């Protein structure tokens, strides 16, 4: 059953607590301040009163903080920048006051941001992806597979095999990669990542894809990383550098997820295929969800080789990784939980 939609005030407070849990004290302080300002009928109320968006499911709180961060990164919000470690600042006592002033002084850019979908191409989530792929390699004896990702933002996670993963039970990927997930990225009990199949082909789609070769789109992607989480910034910059120089990189196709995956599965040879998404299901309409499931079921029932639906989506207070596999026309794994992690993929552990 779908969760009831929160109003914007409560959605901001929920996101504030979630940000604190994930280590962003700046977002926590700012979002609490935005909720107070909204309740008082201030600039936040003025900016959002006519929005035709769902506060929680359309992540309005993250749109606001992302829009302001984009102004900081572009050098257009110097007073707020002095609080943001992402540009060398340090949070001070006037953080919330300066944030609200930025909303007023940079109003047009903030309005643009409120109409921009949240794009967090979080490369940390590839720890969950690799966990699922290694399970497929071990359990279904797949040496190679076709990889298709929906809601893939700028397509960085399509290059997961250019990243390096290492934990107590194995390693995967080029050891000289600048995107690295070593001891601090894993929880316990450890997951075995040593049997990932080779990627035969890769492609992704998104309803509003970002081509990282465009500096403005790249700036937007960076703006959705929280300003006091330097490790995430470093990983994202490294992944952007890999994508910028890799002949394997192609920006995702702009498309509805259900239409696109139906077309992709209809064109692919009857060979092992993995469909993946992470923290995107909430943004799909019910119609898209229904058609997406129907397309997977229809293609799974006609194929002889494995078709795996691998997804990292919210499950209570944290996301989990689940898998459904069709093989020989029948489901042989159904909604099987494999792992859990933080929303940014760190702390990935076996369940």
The reply to whether 2 falls in a domain is no
Do 77 and 153 sit in the same domain of this protein? no
The reply to whether 1 falls in a domain is no
Structural domain range at position 203:
123-350
**Residue 169 confidence (pLDDT):** 81
Quote the CA–CA distance of 147 and 227 in Å, as a whole number. Answer: 32
Do 151 and 73 sit in the same domain of this protein? no
Last residue of a domain, one of 87, 114, 141: 114
Quote the CA–CA distance of 97 and 108 in Å, as a whole number. Answer: 19
The reply to whether 132 falls in a domain is yes
Residues 278-287 pLDDT 10s: 999 988 999 9
Do 171 and 71 sit in the same domain of this protein? no
**Residue 317 confidence (pLDDT):** 84
CA-CA distances (angstroms) from residue 38 to 12, 70, 247? 10, 21, 47
CB 27 within 8 A of CB 85: no
Full-prediction pTM beyond 0.85?
yes
The reply to whether 156 falls in a domain is yes
**Residue 194 confidence (pLDDT):** 86
Do 182 and 325 sit in the same domain of this protein? yes
Percent helix, strand and coil across the chain, each rounded to 5?
45, 20, 35
CATH number for the domain spanning 166: value is 3.40.50
Quote the CA–CA distance of 227 and 128 in Å, as a whole number. Answer: 24
The reply to whether 65 falls in a domain is yes
pLDDT exceeds 90 at position 321: yes
CB 340 within 8 A of CB 320: yes
Q: What is the pLDDT averaged over residues 178-195? A: 93
**Residue 2 confidence (pLDDT):** 52
Do 193 and 300 sit in the same domain of this protein? yes
Do 49 and 88 sit in the same domain of this protein? yes
Quote the CA–CA distance of 236 and 29 in Å, as a whole number. Answer: 24
Last residue of a domain, one of 53, 82, 114: 114
pLDDT exceeds 90 at position 57: no
Q: What is the pLDDT averaged over residues 275-280? A: 96
Do 85 and 186 sit in the same domain of this protein? no
Do 187 and 306 sit in the same domain of this protein? yes
Do 88 and 201 sit in the same domain of this protein? no
pLDDT exceeds 90 at position 316: no
Alpha helices in 151-285 (DSSP H): 215-223, 230-245, 257-267
Confidence of residue 1 (pLDDT cuts 50, 70, 90): very low
Do 291 and 329 sit in the same domain of this protein? yes
Confidence of residue 3 (pLDDT cuts 50, 70, 90): low
Q: What is the DSSP letter of 186?
A: B
In the chain, which ranges are E strands?
144-150, 164-167, 170-172, 180-181, 198-206, 253-254, 273-278, 307-315, 318-327, 330-340, 349-350
**Residue 69 confidence (pLDDT):** 98
Last residue of a domain, one of 92, 114, 136: 114
Number of folded domains that form the chain:
2
Q: What is the pLDDT averaged over residues 233-246? A: 95
Do 108 and 162 sit in the same domain of this protein? no
Do 173 and 43 sit in the same domain of this protein? no
């Amino acid at each position: 059953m779908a969760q009831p939609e929160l109003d914007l005030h409560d959605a901001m407070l929920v996101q504030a607590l979630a940000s604190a849990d994930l280590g962003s004290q700046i977002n926590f302080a700012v979002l609490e301040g935005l909720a107070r300002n909204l309740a008082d009928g201030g600039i936040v109320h003025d900016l959002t009163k006519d929005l035709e968006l769902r506060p929680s499911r359309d992540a309005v709180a993250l749109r606001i903080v992302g829009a302001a961060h984009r102004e900081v990164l572009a050098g257009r919000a110097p007073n707020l920048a002095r609080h943001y470690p992402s540009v060398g600042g340090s949070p001070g006592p006037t953080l919330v006051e300066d944030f609200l002033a930025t909303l007023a002084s940079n109003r047009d850019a903030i309005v643009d941001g409120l109409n921009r979908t949240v794009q967090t191409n979080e490369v940390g989530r590839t720890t969950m992806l690799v966990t699922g792929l290694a399970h497929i390699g071990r359990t279904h004896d797949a040496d190679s597979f076709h990889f298709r990702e929906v809601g893939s933002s700028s397509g960085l996670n399509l290059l997961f095999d250019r990243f390096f993963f290492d934990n107590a039970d194995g390693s995967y990927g080029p050891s000289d990669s600048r995107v690295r997930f070593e001891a601090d990225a894993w929880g316990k009990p450890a997951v075995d990542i040593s049997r990932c199949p080779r990627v035969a082909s890769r492609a992704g789609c998104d309803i509003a894809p970002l081509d990282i070769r465009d500096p403005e789109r790249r700036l937007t992607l960076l703006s959705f990383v929280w300003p006091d989480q330097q490790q995430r910034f470093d990983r994202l910059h490294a992944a952007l550098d890999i994508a910028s120089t890799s002949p394997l990189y192609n920006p995702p196709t702009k498309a509805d997820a259900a239409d696109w995956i139906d077309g992709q599965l209809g064109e692919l040879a009857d060979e092992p295929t993995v469909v993946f998404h992470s923290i995107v299901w909430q943004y799909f309409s019910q119609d898209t969800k229904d058609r997406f499931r129907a397309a997977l079921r229809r293609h799974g029932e006609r194929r002889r080789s494995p078709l795996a639906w691998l997804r990292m989506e919210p499950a209570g207070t944290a996301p989990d990784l689940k898998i459904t596999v069709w093989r020989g026309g029948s489901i042989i794994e159904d909604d099987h939980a494999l792992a859990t992690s933080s929303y940014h993929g760190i702390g990935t552990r076996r369940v």
